[in-house]
Amino acid sequence: METTQRSDHQTSADRRRRELLEAADRVVLRDGPGASMNAIAAEAGITKPILYRHFGDKGGLYAALAKRHTDALLASLRAALDAPAERRERVEATLDTYLAAIEARPQVYRFLMHPAEGGPQQPAEAGFDTGRNSIPVLRRMGEELGQVIEERLDLGPGTQQLARMWGHGIVGMMHAAGDWWLGERPCPRAELVRALADLLWGRLAAAGDRVGGPGF
């Protein structure tokens, strides 16, 4: 019964891992991204070294935790992006999906956008990866959106690079506007969706100058 035993063992380890992840999730959602390994271990009913055996270090745990949520968010975004509708509608649906997600679970959002933390010891070796500190979920979203744009649109020569730049740019726009909106709540969601879609549709370039200028 080797297979059965090995399978049992595997599932046992996997189940443990999932239990730990769920405990970590609870703590992170309660205490924010500053949750300590001690607190997570306590919530899971065990002690620190077990966490380290399973996840290596805090970064590993956070990465595993972030991957779950990121995958879920990306799946729903992809669904909105792949809907059979006009381009403008799909863009609005995608924006709305993202904003609805961060609105519904702001703690998750906050955790996802704050994973690196720069740890206490940052040995400054590895040659200063300048862009390494970017938020992983944003990078992934940007890459995926860039791919979708490249697949769908005909942008002439240099399509691929243009699509990637746009992907990252649009994701950044969505993120920054969403973050500000989530903090100040100045208007309903639909209004922000419309405003951002309008921005992407070139209304900035089309707008007329103001008549009575700023300095008299």
Binding site for DNA (CB under 7 A): 1, 5, 9, 12-13, 16, 36-39, 45-50, 52-53, 57-59, 119-121
181 binds its own copies (CB under 8 A): yes
CB of 76 to its own copies, least distance (A): 20
Residue 7 partner contact from its own copies, DNA, none using kind-dependent CB cut-offs of 5 to 8 Å: none
4 binds its own copies (CB under 8 A): no
C-alpha 24/C-alpha 11 separation (Å) is 19
**Does residue 96 contact residue 177 with C-beta atoms inside 8 Å?**
no
CB of 5 to DNA, least distance (A): 5
**Does residue 27 contact residue 41 with C-beta atoms inside 8 Å?**
no
**Does residue 167 contact residue 149 with C-beta atoms inside 8 Å?**
yes
The two tokens of residue 111 are 């955790």
Task: Name the phi and psi angles at 145, rounded to 5.
Answer: -65, -40
Residue 57 partner contact from its own copies, DNA, none using kind-dependent CB cut-offs of 5 to 8 Å: DNA
Chain CA centroid to CA 39, Å: 24
89 binds its own copies (CB under 8 A): no
Residue 186 partner contact from DNA, its own copies, none using kind-dependent CB cut-offs of 5 to 8 Å: its own copies
